[in-house]
Amino acid sequence: MIGGEDVVLPTLDLDRVVATDVCVRAIIRRWPRAVIQSGTTAEIYPRYQSVPFGEEREIMIYRDRHALESWDELESHPTNHNTMVHLLAYGDGKMTIVVDDANAEEMRLLLEEIRRAMRNTPRVSTEAPDSERRAA
Amino acid sequence: MTMDASDRLRDLLGRAGLQASVDSAVEFWGEESAGKYFAGRADLLVAAYRAYAERYPTASSSGSVPRLDVDTLEETLQRNPQKVRAFLQALEETSNVGLLVMVWRIIHGDTIMSIDMRYVERETFELVIRLEDPATGDESCYRSQDNDDAVLLRHIAVMKINDMPIFDGFYALRV
């Protein structure tokens, strides 16, 4: 996303992969028709279960197909503000969430729901699996 | 079930970041008994695979929710290690094949529609969980009357959407 507002949320002791998973699940519960897109390859994931969280460090989530088309055509534009969330997960301990306006009601609620979800997610092992150690 | 399957499961646990779980089983039971324990868990995984295939005959690695077997778990490990870790912990915690199918479905995005738990001290326990596939709207129901299975509820994240209650996802616990 070009422009927008960076909101950096602490993920406490959730690892990067789980924190991203939790964020996506929280967002698609609010936006049940959401479209998920890779932030690095632009691949569209047809369903939540298609997302390779172990490999993705950037994910864009559009409110619906119409929002995706609008962003494709106009990029950031007043008519599509607050219809897309850009997640950046480049390290354990924090998640950067880019939104148009963090004070807009829709985004404020969404960010609060993500915070709550991360706070209440069961904590995972601190022992990284082989695949993550190799990637590090 | 051969010991090969057991060794494969132990190897998978280690590669999923759950080696401490394997080590503690060996320390607790000794190598021979731990081997039998993991063979039993490998048998349970096969039973879960069969139950899943019977309930969801069209599931495939390219479809909506993939098959439930060791091959799929190994394939999933690279792309979604958090899902494999969570499922393997459930495999260690319950012997209820139906609940393992349920865990696999939640991990892959099914919505938890309701959880009913009834407990009366020294008398009765019943857990009933209903899921919905968000893609198709199909509902499924899973039950247990063994209160040991209540430990699975610890893996579920607690959320609110529009200030209304949501239980969602199934995550690995710290080992």
Task: Spell out which chain A residues touch chain B, with contact meaning CB-CB distance below 8 angstroms.
Answer: 15, 17-18, 21-22, 25-26, 29-30, 32, 47-49, 51-55, 109, 113, 116-117, 120-132
Q: How confident is the model at residue A91 (pLDDT cuts 50, 70, 90)?
A: confident
Cross-chain residue pair A122–B64, CB shorter than 8 Å: no
According to DSSP, residue B146 is labeled -
Please indicate whether residue A15 or residue B113 has the higher confidence score (pLDDT).
B113
What 3-state DSSP class applies to A77? Answer: coil
For residue A73, give the H/E element and its range.
helix A65-74
The answer to whether residue B118 scores a pLDDT higher than 50 is yes
The answer to whether residue B92 scores a pLDDT higher than 60 is yes
Return the minimum-mean-pLDDT range out of A58-67, B36-45, B66-75, B138-147.
B66-75
What is the pLDDT at residue A2? 55
Cα(A67)–Cα(A71) distance, integer angstroms: 6
For chain B, what is the mean pLDDT? 90
What is the pLDDT at residue B29? 84
What is the pLDDT at residue A133? 47
The answer to whether residue B70 scores a pLDDT higher than 90 is no
Cross-chain residue pair A48–B16, CB shorter than 8 Å: no
Each residue of B131-163: pLDDT tens digit? 999 988 999 999 999 999 999 999 999 999 988
**How much is the average pLDDT of A26-35?**
94
What is the pLDDT at residue B175? 63
What is the pLDDT at residue B62? 44
ipTM above 0.95, yes or no: no
Q: How confident is the model at residue A93 (pLDDT cuts 50, 70, 90)?
A: confident
Interface check B160 vs A, CB under 8 A: yes
First-to-last C-alpha distance (Å) of chain B: 27
Cross-chain residue pair A48–B108, CB shorter than 8 Å: yes
Give the minimum alpha-carbon distance from B16 to chain A in angstroms, rounded to a whole number: 5
b/e for A44-76, b at 16 or more Cβ within 10 A? ebeebbebebbebbbbbbbbeeebbebbeeeee
Q: How confident is the model at residue B59 (pLDDT cuts 50, 70, 90)?
A: low
Please indicate whether residue A123 or residue B18 has the higher confidence score (pLDDT).
B18
The answer to whether residue A127 scores a pLDDT higher than 50 is no
Which residues in chain B have Cβ-Cβ distances shorter than 8 Å to A127?
17-20, 175
For residue B14, give the amino acid letter. Answer: G
The answer to whether residue A92 scores a pLDDT higher than 70 is yes
Q: Which two tokens stand for residue A83?
A: 């219809």
Residue appearing with tokens 């939104």: A99
**How much is the average pLDDT of B57-61?**
60
Cross-chain residue pair A125–B154, CB shorter than 8 Å: no
The answer to whether residue B119 scores a pLDDT higher than 90 is yes
Percent of chain B with pLDDT over 70: 94
Q: How confident is the model at residue B56 (pLDDT cuts 50, 70, 90)?
A: confident
The answer to whether residue A130 scores a pLDDT higher than 80 is no
What is the pLDDT at residue A136? 42
| Residue in B77, B161, B175 closest to A30 by CB | B161
Which residues in chain A have Cβ-Cβ distances shorter than 8 Å to B81?
17, 54, 129, 131-132
The answer to whether residue A106 scores a pLDDT higher than 80 is yes
Please give the C-alpha separations between residue A84 and each of A59, A100, B8, B99, B103, in angstroms, as whole numbers.
10, 8, 42, 35, 30
